[in-house]
Structure 1
Amino acid sequence: MPEARTVVRAILLVTLMGSIVFASVRLATAPAASADPSVRVQSDYVLMLLQCALGIVVMFLPLIVQRRFAVHLPSAIEIAFFVFLYCAIYLGEVRSFYFRIPYWDNVLHFFSGAMLGALGFVLVQLLNDSQRLHVELSPAFVSFFAFCFALASGVVWEIYEFTADSLLGTNMQKYVTEAGEVLIGRSALHDTMIDLIIDASAALIVTVLGFLWLRPRMGKDAERPAPLLERRPAAD
């Protein structure tokens, strides 16, 4: 019987591939511009294609990491990653939840900040359990790294949004209102800064909880915590 992560990965892959076909067909007939904000224009379908293609690429990153470093990522983190991609790309872009559901973007940024914070802990555990480089890191440093990793990932995402908006004429950073008004100054920065603040808040909550969990388990007389990653035996 296939693992839950395998089933979720397959569902996500089929969904994204179907969305690419849908966006490609609609792109050919969509208007270049429209005064009606409810009508999707060509740039909307270009963004949809970009997001779906990128989603297919990044959804295989956990599998690549597991094979490259011979580790077994926790199923919960991998499934959460797939659920996030489904909610952000298919529900958010294809099904227009970003416009239909209030604060959908904020919820996803909080979810991703928390997930990336947890992933930061996993990456440090990978370093701690390395057979080639064994290090003992304090709970404070592990938590600090996890927080910085989550926040840096959020910054990379904002750079991606800015690049897509600049090159493809999309509106991922919401610098243009539905009425077509181009925002300037502080108003133009609002979406980006709110996203980063939410990312940081979620990551901080997870890393503080992680610190409180690690601290009593990594004292001098405490047992070493069970590894978050299960290392696979080397092939003969």
Structure 2
Amino acid sequence: MKSKKDQYILTFAITFEILLLITAIVNLINGIKRNCYISLISILCVPFPFILNRLADKKSITLPPRFKAITLLFIFGTQYLGELVGFYFTLWWWDLLLHAFAGFYGVIIGAFLIESVIYHENQNSSKRHTLFLGILAFSFSTTMSTLWEIFEYIADTMLKTNMLQEGFRDTFQDLLAGEIFALVGAIIIYLKLKFKNSSSL
């Protein structure tokens, strides 16, 4: 039986899908193909958090709490508010905010994945595990930030969007924001695990 939180998340996802479908139809009628394409791509993106969560459960991989909700909100912020509503064009800090958040949250996802897949308590010392976890979590997050920039470039090239905005300047600002907050997240996780391991001794 699903919890109330899961029901709320599913309700939000369905409502979001309906909103995107309506947006796609309206833009198609008005001849705004760009927004219609973005709406359709977003419709395909919405199920991904649920698919990833289901696969993680099958493989006994632990994802961060509220993973589905946060990922859905991120899709809503980037695709709907950013592109369709126009926050990327009207709010100069919107793109940086999303990249900073993605960098920070990417570290958390990376830490959970590494903890679930790689860590074996009987094979690694606590000190080595803590350092290893921090490094890999940071690497995971920075890789995600870089892949996002590649996605923006492909979208701008194929769909004539404006995700890259001012070209290389915007790209490096986004990467810098993602890297800085990824580093902050990695340090927090490292210190938390270090304190936890020290307390257990």
TM range (shorter): 0.7 to 0.9
Distance 1:99 1:171, change over 3 A: closer
Structure 1: 4+ residue segments shifted above 6 A: none
Paired position in structure 1 for 2:74? 84
Q: Where do 1:138-217 residues align within 5 Å?
A: 138-175=129-166, 188-217=167-196
Unaligned stretches of 5+ residues in structure 2? none
Query: Normalising to structure 1: TM-score of the pair?
Result: 0.72
The answer as to 2:5 corresponding to 1:15 is no
Q: Which has the larger radius of gyration?
A: 1
* Structure-2 change in CA distance of 1:9 and 1:148 (3 Å): farther
Q: Secondary structure of 1:90's match?
A: helix
So what's the TM-score if we normalise by structure 2?
0.83
Equivalent residue pairs, number: 197
Q: Which of residues 102, 107, 112 is equivalent to 2:97? A: 107
List per-residue Cα deviations over 1:127-155 (Å, max 9, x = no partner).
Answer: 2467xx97535211110100010010111
Residue type matched to 1:222 in 2? S
Structure 1 CA distance for aligned equivalents of residues 188 and 40 of structure 2: 38
Residue range with higher mean Cα deviation, 166-175 or 139-148: 166-175
State the one-letter code of the partner of 2:21.
I
The answer to whether 1:69 aligns with 2:48 is no
Name the structure where helix makes up a greater proportion of residues.
Answer: 2
Q: Percent identity?
A: 23
Name the counterpart of 2:116: 126
Question: In angstroms, what is the RMSD of aligned CA positions?
Answer: 2.6
